[in-house]
Amino acid sequence: MILEVNDIYTSYGLSQILFGISINVDQGECVALLGRNGVGKTTTLRSIMGLTAPKQGTVVYKGEDITGRPAFKVAKLGVGFVPEERRIFPDLSVRENLETGRKSAANGSAGNGEWTIERVNDIFPILAGLGDRKGGYLSGGEQQMLTVGRTLMGNPDLLLLDEPSEGLAPLVVRDLSEQISRLKAEGMTILLCEQNAKFATNLSDRAYIIEKGQVRFSGTIDELQDNAEIRDQYLGL
């Protein structure tokens, strides 16, 4: 188990958002966190990353209790977070943006060796032709690929992706889906938050459905699709 989130309660000031969330992710898995807007998906990622410390419960990463550690320390341990807002540097080129993400591998355990710009370009071929383009001139999809690529340059062992498909055109979402599955085929472990259940379930081995800060359902994608109520509510089939 690379990540274990045990019964966490997280609030912003007086407003309590998570009410006992437990999730786990195995090495090499892609796990989806699904749920409507505002149910606490991002707050769960922030709790893992140490951006908002849980008030109760634990976050265990590679067997080590990291609950409430500051984000820069969690990142150093090999957790890469791609937030919802695509924060690229608009005045830097694509190549320079990627360089800003470079960090040496945590514990030397980055699977296939250290990430390079060439390796990022293999996953995201579109970026290969845009090396000199300023970040600010990229399309939404290209910016999303660049933010994921930049995080990969930090050699994460666990990638937290927050709504990567949000706001992207269907054809771009399809490209992104292929790219993330390539990443998964390379052995990357991924925790993926999405409102787009179709996109997420295509990529994932298992899913958790969050409602009002609690896990309403957890299981494999097959189990999710076999559950008529959940399927109707979340997969729109």
Ligand X SMILES: Nc1ncnc2c1ncn2[C@@H]1O[C@H](COP(=O)(O)OP(=O)(O)O)[C@@H](O)[C@H]1O
Give the DSSP H/E element, type plus range, for residue 210. strand 206-211
Nearest distance, CB of residue 46 and Mg ion, angstroms: 9
Whether 208 and 217 have beta carbons less than 8 Å apart is answered as: yes
The nearer residue to ligand X, 18 or 106, going by C-beta atoms, is 18
**Amino acid residing at 149:** G
Whether 73 and 23 have beta carbons less than 8 Å apart is answered as: no
37 binds ligand X (CB under 6 A): yes
Nearest distance, CB of residue 128 and ligand X, angstroms: 32
Which region among 30-38, 124-132, 140-148, 184-192 touches ligand X (by CB under 6 A)?
A: 30-38
Nearest distance, CB of residue 70 and ligand X, angstroms: 17
Whether 101 and 150 have beta carbons less than 8 Å apart is answered as: yes
Whether 79 and 158 have beta carbons less than 8 Å apart is answered as: yes
Nearest distance, CB of residue 162 and ligand X, angstroms: 7
Phi, psi (degrees; rounded to nearest 5) at 9: -120, 120
Exactly one of 21, 29, 43, 201 binds ligand X (CB under 6 A); that residue is 43
Decide: helix, strand or coil at residue 54. coil
- Strand partners for 23: 5
Exactly one of 41, 62, 69, 206 binds ligand X (CB under 6 A); that residue is 41
39 binds ligand X (CB under 6 A): yes
50 binds ligand X (CB under 6 A): no
Residue nearest Mg ion, Cβ-based: 42
Decide: helix, strand or coil at residue 208. strand
Which listed option, ligand X, Mg ion, none, makes contact with residue 35 (CB within 5 to 8 Å by class)?
ligand X
What's the rounded Cα separation, in Å, for the pair 44 and 139?
A: 28
User: CB-based contacts of 215: which residues, under 8 Å, 6+ apart?
Assistant: 21, 22, 23, 208, 209
The nearer residue to ligand X, 41 or 86, going by C-beta atoms, is 41
Exactly one of 8, 23, 40, 143 binds ligand X (CB under 6 A); that residue is 40
What's the rounded Cα separation, in Å, for the pair 14 and 25?
A: 30
The nearer residue to ligand X, 40 or 154, going by C-beta atoms, is 40
14 binds ligand X (CB under 6 A): no
20 binds ligand X (CB under 6 A): no
54 binds ligand X (CB under 6 A): no
Sites of contact with ligand X (CB under 6 A) = 12, 15, 17, 35, 37-43
